[in-house]
Amino acid sequence: ATSVFVKDEKERPRRCFLCVGAALALEPDHPLVEDLIHEFYTPSDLSKHFRRKHPKVLATDTKPECRVCDIALSHKMHLQNQALLVHGTVS
C-alpha cells in the first residue's frame, strides 16, 4: 500500500500526500526522499504528523496546493477535503 490515493472513504493510507508531493519535486536519489515517503505505523500516526508538520498549510491565510494531484487549492477547508476524500488523511 504505497499509494497516497484512496479508493473509498473508509480507506486510510499511512503515507503523507504532502510529503510525497514534496519528494516528487526532488531527484530520485536526493537524501530527503526516503524520509518524505516514509510509511507511518498507523493512519493515526499519519494524522498526528499532518497536524504537527504541516501547520502552515493548515493556516487560514495560505493558498495550499496538492503536488501529487498537481492542483491549487483555494483555502484550508479545500485542502482538508482533498486530504480526506482523495488521500484518506484525517486532519
Higher pLDDT, 1 or 33: 33
Q: What is the pLDDT of residues 30-60, one digit of tens each?
A: 999 999 999 999 999 999 999 898 877 777 6
The pLDDT of residue 2: 63
Residue 5 in this model has a pLDDT that exceeds 60: yes
The pLDDT of residue 8: 85
SS (H, E, C) the chain: CCCCCCCCCCCCCCCCHHHHHHHHCCCCCCCCHHHHCCCCCCHHHHHHHHHHHCCCCCCCCCCCEECCCCEECCCHHHHHHHHHHHCCCCC
Neighbours of 3 (CB within 10 A): 14
The pLDDT of residue 59: 73
pLDDT mean across residues, the chain? 89
Residue 1 confidence class, pLDDT cut points 50, 70, 90: very low
pTM of the model: 0.87
Rounded to whole angstroms, the Cα distance separating 1 from 68 reads 16
